[in-house]
Structure 1
Amino acid sequence: MGRFPDSRFDKAADGGRDNPRATGAVRLSDVAAAAGVAAMTVSRALNQPELVSERTRERVQRAVIETGYVPNRVAGALASSRSKMVAVLVPTVAHSLFADVVQSITDTLAVEGYQVLLGLTGYQTEEEAAVVETVLSRRPDALVVAGTRHSEATRQRLGAARIPVVEIWDMSDDPLDMLIGFSHHAVGEAVADHLLGCGYQRFGQAMADDPRSHQRAEGFNARILAEQKARPDAGIKVTTHWAEIPATLVGGRTTAANVLAGMPDCEAIFCSSDTLAMGVIAEAQSRAMAIPEALAVMGFGDMSFAAATWPALSTVRIDGAEIGRLTAAHLLQRFGAGSPDPAHDIVDVGFEIVARQTTLSPRS
């Protein structure tokens, strides 16, 4: 591509004083000078291209490339009251569960010209509060946050921001605004029902020490307690041990060892993630325990490796991509001046028990 004749940038390829690259950020006026048009014309070509001729758009685009100009989105947001940016806060992207959600949100919003600002909260309410404060200073058009358990300061800050907020990956009777997820308590209950239906009676839980894992453990324990009361002579027992976060294979092995030390006759272990479940399987195999005959293992998440391992891992499937798609769709609807609808803006996507080879078949 040829350079612009008589351009100020031709003078200064060597970093001279007339080269804005040598003296600081390239400004809109620099692009205008290079293109030979007014600064207002450059602004229109970049922000409302339908208002200028094709020839002018091409000149401006060549000048943008020539100068290395990057539009100031913050200034644009102040002028238009829209930043075209959505903040998405999740605990981690180290495994596919949250990564799938973030990717789906990003892909769906990108079609409408929105970008995602990602923040990692590390399962800590204090860290979440700090990240919320930081991202709100960037003036996002909306904020997506994993979970519904926030500090009071975070709840107040998000309420005062007066932007759409979507809580994901959870259910609550008191959402901040929109809510798209599933009940972790119900997951725990469903897993307990499944394992009881397989004939198991002595249970362990290997759970990461985070709020949503606690909810799944509570649901599991509640269902087991109900079964103990219904069948007091059946010998039904449960023990729960907690793993450090983030979940790792080593953490799974360590937690499995703790479960088996406290309950040597344990028949089935429910894990808060597929990663922990693989560690539990490794620990069982190191003890020559046959899976699932001597010990059944149930994961959570249905990560990409779950079906490919041997034996294939029984788990709970969550459609993270659908959570992301629905989240973005609800935001785009709200951006289009859609009014809040409490009935419409709370969506339970549910979950699916996936029975594979690490648990016995349910009894008829």
Structure 2
Amino acid sequence: MGARVTMRDVAREAGVSPMTVSRALKQDGSVNTATRTLVRQAADKLGYVYDTTAQAFRAQRSGFLAVTLPSINNANFASTHRALTQSLVGTDLQLLLGITNYRVEEEERLMRQLLARRPEAVVLTGGHHNAATRKLLVSINVPVIEIWDLPPDPIGHVVGFSNAGAMALVVAHLVETGRRKFGFIGASADSDTRGAERRHGAVEAARTFGLPEIVQLDAGPAPVSMSDGARAVEKAGDILHNLDALICVSDPVAFGAMMALQRMGLTVPDDIGVTGFGAFEIARIATPRITTVDVGAEQIGQEAGLAILSLLNGSQSSDAPLRITLTPKLQPGNST
């Protein structure tokens, strides 16, 4: 392994002083374009990597944004992350990502680690946190944005939608198709707060329509998958013959449920309807195409990124909390 390339090495290669190299690499306006180009060419030739730690310390900036997601395997959360990242292109901001695995205790552990890096803003998926995490976030003097939810008592700023309201769209659609008796397939209680809100939204909407109580079909702890949806259907057995439709917490769960129903000799949607949630790609390519709800996963990331930039550059006052509410859209398919 060769010796580490230093700023002095770059200065010798470019024929300038180390101070000029430092100014050129941090986009100092006192260095003209020609010299800045010369320095960057020398740095690239030698493989020099500019260490921004000291600069950040002096400027009281880290250049980091702390972001938590429940899972990176979920295509919708991945879309949100990708859009958030794209919204920061052209800035000097980078994401520090933590995966909570749907556990508030893990979110607390991650927050303690991420906050030690002095992020300039924090983005949290969901509005449900334990007391320790909330105390940490209330005490920091940086923007906090909760996404994918509309918490009743937000810590700071919000970019989200009503999970319960989105599921009410599904129930109304099923009623319009003449269905009255529903089952709900979702994660075990308390393991997925957004899933629980969807279940609550479906139950309340059914009561509003004067329908029978929705049958709860437990798919296991979050995150629930296609296989979990299939197993929930298989365990339900004869209960299915008394239902008109299965309301699923997500499109992958709905797809798994449909496959299990077909293996059991039940036809979708003639024998029983199936709905999903999230407008995943699998909903569009499944046969039959799955009725779902588009919640704007990519737009959530875009709006969060724009909010962060406006808060950090001062064009949006942090004293006036943002509450950006997205409107979910029902996408009827052939499964209902």
Look at both structures and tell me which one has the larger radius of gyration over its CA atoms: 1
Show the counterpart of 1:40: 19
Q: 2:224 aligns with which of 238, 247, 265?
A: 247
Matched, 1:339 2:320: no
Residue type of the alignment partner of 2:327: G
The one-character-per-residue Cα deviations of 1:279-315 (angstroms, maximum 9, x if unpaired) are 0000110011111010100000011121122111101
Matched, 1:226 2:205: no
* Residue 49 (structure 1) shift: 4.4
Deviates more, 1:70-79 or 1:178-187: 70-79
Q: 2:138 aligns with which of 131, 146, 159?
A: 159
CA contact (8 A) 1:240 1:259 kept: no
Deviates more, 1:181-190 or 1:212-221: 181-190
Residue type of the alignment partner of 1:296: G
CA contact (8 A) 2:255 2:282 kept: no
Which whole-Å CA distance do the structure 2 matches of 1:33 and 1:142 have between them?
Answer: 39
Q: 1:134 aligns with which of 113, 133, 136?
A: 113
Matched, 1:172 2:154: no
Q: 1:203 aligns with which of 182, 194, 198?
A: 182
CA contact (8 A) 2:143 2:318 kept: no
Which whole-Å CA distance do the structure 2 matches of 1:126 and 1:32 have between them?
Answer: 49
Which whole-Å CA distance do the structure 2 matches of 1:65 and 1:140 have between them?
Answer: 29
Show the counterpart of 2:165: 186
Which whole-Å CA distance do the structure 2 matches of 1:95 and 1:281 have between them?
Answer: 20
Bigger relative CO (Cα 8 Å, ≥ 6 apart) = 2
Aligned length: 331
* Residue 225 (structure 1) shift: 2.6
Identical pairs, percent: 31
Aligned-partner SS, 1:357: coil
Q: 1:173 to 1:237 in 2, by over 3 A?
A: closer
Which whole-Å CA distance do the structure 2 matches of 1:303 and 1:164 have between them?
Answer: 30
Matched, 1:303 2:280: yes
Q: 2:35 aligns with which of 51, 56, 81?
A: 56
CA contact (8 A) 2:203 2:213 kept: no
Aligned-partner SS, 1:350: coil
Which whole-Å CA distance do the structure 2 matches of 1:128 and 1:29 have between them?
Answer: 43
CA contact (8 A) 1:42 1:60 kept: yes
Show the counterpart of 1:88: 67
Q: 1:333 to 1:161 in 2, by over 3 A?
A: same
CA contact (8 A) 1:318 1:352 kept: yes
Which whole-Å CA distance do the structure 2 matches of 1:204 and 1:264 have between them?
Answer: 11
Q: Which runs of 5+ in 2 are unaligned?
A: none
The one-character-per-residue Cα deviations of 1:321-346 (angstroms, maximum 9, x if unpaired) are 11111111111111111312546x00
Residue type of the alignment partner of 1:109: L
* Residue 261 (structure 1) shift: 4.1
CA contact (8 A) 1:260 1:266 kept: no
Aligned-partner SS, 1:294: coil
Which whole-Å CA distance do the structure 2 matches of 1:50 and 1:342 have between them?
Answer: 34
* Residue 213 (structure 1) shift: 0.3
Q: TM-score, normalised by structure 1?
A: 0.86
Aligned-partner SS, 2:84: helix
Q: TM-score, normalised by structure 2?
A: 0.93
Aligned-partner SS, 2:246: strand
Matched, 1:217 2:199: yes
Q: 1:38 to 1:207 in 2, by over 3 A?
A: same
Q: How does 1:115-126 map to 2 (within 5 A)?
A: 115-126=94-105
CA contact (8 A) 1:239 1:259 kept: no
Q: 1:160 to 1:27 in 2, by over 3 A?
A: farther
